[in-house]
Structure 1
Amino acid sequence: MSSSEIVIHDSVNDAQAELWFAEPAGFTALPLDALLAEPDSPAAERMRTAVAPVLEAAPSEAVRHRLITQVASGQQMLGALYASGTVHCSIGLHRDDVDAMRSGTHLLSLFTISWRETNVAPRSVTAARAVTSVEGHTRVAFLEAPCGPAVLSETTLRSADGGALPQRPLLQVHAHLPHPDCRRLAVLTLSTTATARREEYRAILRQVVETVRFVHPLGGDS
């Protein structure tokens, strides 16, 4: 997997955005506004129009029903993320070019940006509290990013024995970036089951952190 190429996110053109960032090539943003739109809204109608050809191309009614069920399930999961403060979500698909024995294998990941309210405190203190007040964070690293103090950390989640979810551990690499108003925290998270590639995914997230700005990077009004 390679993270050398950077793709500028559309938020760079939004003067009302609360942060600006770039992410490496290989990530596809999910249209949260369309996927979570009210049933009778114009956005929902556009979503139905976009999905219709896929459903029509399904080889059978059973396959079509599975597709609809999967979309609905995905909407429920995205809805839960949105309710907890997630404002950006993208799917990462990268070729595993590290392991010669697995060359050509594709690795999946999920990148999210979420906001959390915090108590008023110096930004460096807020960053430290983000990982020290919750158990399970490992490989904690403090850094001074272009947007200010930040903390990188990792957590590993495992589904309960006998549960419906796959038993493979889920690696989550986090970056905690306190906002200059000292009242909230941007949390960037990169999640994957490819735990053997933790160094590569950590490098990708670190690369994204270097691009984050809380003021318009092109000089526009924030």
Structure 2
Amino acid sequence: MTPRFTLDESAHNPDADMWFAQPEGFTTIPFRTLLNPSGSPGAEALREALAPVLDSLNDDLARQRFLAHLGQGQHLLAALAEVGTTRCAIGLHRDDISAPGKNGEAGGGFLFSLFTVSWRDITPTAPAVTAARAVAGAEGHTNIEYLELPCGPASFSETVRTPNADSGLPQEPVLQVFAHLPHPDGKRLVVLTLGTTAVRRRAEYRSLLHQIAENVSFEDPLLEMEALTKADGGSRPPRG
């Protein structure tokens, strides 16, 4: 079966630094919208968008709880932004590998994950060297790999850690799988991270991140498609 893709509006951004395919089951968090400073047009638009949600809640306590959770989420997103994160998506997938449940239903319920894209400025060097350095001596990292992808050299690694007790997060082990992709300009490194508490599914999440990384491009693939179409004398490919 031919894969089907839906183009996000960001695919047409002339200032984009990379392009990739986000798998089904992931919902992108409106990162920048949630972090607009108070009093800005963006913050006002967010307030207007949330107004119907707040009005639908039954009492003041429910509204206060909702706003508290929203504030906590904004705090976490702000922390991610401080370390160079530019995209964040929540993954929700059915666990169809666990033992069947009642009446022959697929067992295991649902699996949650968090996918992020982060950028790091680096000392100018060859991409292959950057990919190797990204995992060299990384404390606690396992399953380290070095691969040549269509976008260039890349390194992969993973860790399993438990949040600090004072972090406010549940004290459950968290699997984090990383893909380190040097930008061809030799000055930047993009890090794709897939995190989940479903540590038992590490092989599946490792494979999923590999698939995302293999589709990364640092050159606009839409322009390449249009150029090939014109060269073949065909019509412009449909978008969306």
The residue number in structure 1 matching 2:74 is 75
Paired letter, 1:60? D
**Structure 1: 5+ residue runs without aligned partners?**
none
The residue number in structure 2 matching 1:58 is 57
Paired letter, 2:63? R
Q: Does 1:201 align with 2:205?
A: yes
Q: Give 3-state SS (helix, strand or coil) of 1:56's partner.
A: helix
Q: Does 1:144 align with 2:148?
A: yes
Is the 1:91–1:110 Cα contact (8 Å) retained in structure 2? yes
Q: Does 1:212 align with 2:216?
A: yes
Instruction: Give the distance between the partners of 1:88 and 1:6, measured in 2 at CA.
Output: 19
Which segment drifts farther, 182-191 or 120-129?
120-129
Instruction: Give the distance between the partners of 1:211 and 1:36, measured in 2 at CA.
Output: 29
| TM-score, scaled relative to structure 1 | 0.92
Instruction: Give the distance between the partners of 2:166 and 2:29, measured in 1 at CA.
Output: 31
Instruction: Give the distance between the partners of 2:143 and 2:72, measured in 1 at CA.
Output: 33
Is the 2:98–2:108 Cα contact (8 Å) retained in structure 1? no
Higher relative contact order (CA 8 A, sep 6+): 1
Structure 1 position 9, deviation (Å): 3.8
Q: Does 1:130 align with 2:129?
A: no
1:163–1:78 Cα change, 3 Å = closer
Which segment drifts farther, 137-146 or 7-16?
7-16
Instruction: Give the distance between the partners of 1:7 and 1:199, measured in 2 at CA.
Output: 26
Structure 1 position 38, deviation (Å): 1.6
1:22–1:162 Cα change, 3 Å = closer
The residue number in structure 2 matching 1:101 is 100
1:161-172 matches, within 5 Å, as 164-172=168-176
**Count of matched residue pairs:** 217
**Structure 2: 5+ residue runs without aligned partners?**
102-106, 225-240
Is the 1:5–1:25 Cα contact (8 Å) retained in structure 2? no
Structure 1 position 164, deviation (Å): 3.9
Instruction: Give 1 or 2: higher strand fraction.
Output: 1
Instruction: Give the distance between the partners of 1:91 and 1:47, measured in 2 at CA.
Output: 19
| TM-score, scaled relative to structure 2 | 0.85
- State the superposition RMSD in angstroms: 1.8
Structure 1 position 37, deviation (Å): 0.5
> Runs in 1 of length 4+ with deviation above 6 angstroms?
none
Q: Give 3-state SS (helix, strand or coil) of 1:24's partner.
A: coil
Q: Highest Rg: 1 or 2?
A: 2
Which segment drifts farther, 98-107 or 27-36?
98-107
Is the 2:97–2:108 Cα contact (8 Å) retained in structure 1? no
1:89–1:164 Cα change, 3 Å = closer
Structure 1 position 124, deviation (Å): 1.1
Is the 1:8–1:23 Cα contact (8 Å) retained in structure 2? no
Is the 1:12–1:217 Cα contact (8 Å) retained in structure 2? no
Q: Give 3-state SS (helix, strand or coil) of 1:218's partner.
A: helix
Is the 2:154–2:179 Cα contact (8 Å) retained in structure 1? yes
1:148–1:187 Cα change, 3 Å = same
1:40–1:164 Cα change, 3 Å = closer
1:132–1:7 Cα change, 3 Å = farther
| Percent identity of paired positions between Structure 1 and Structure 2 | 48
Structure 1 position 101, deviation (Å): 3.4
Instruction: Give the distance between the partners of 1:97 and 1:27, measured in 2 at CA.
Output: 17
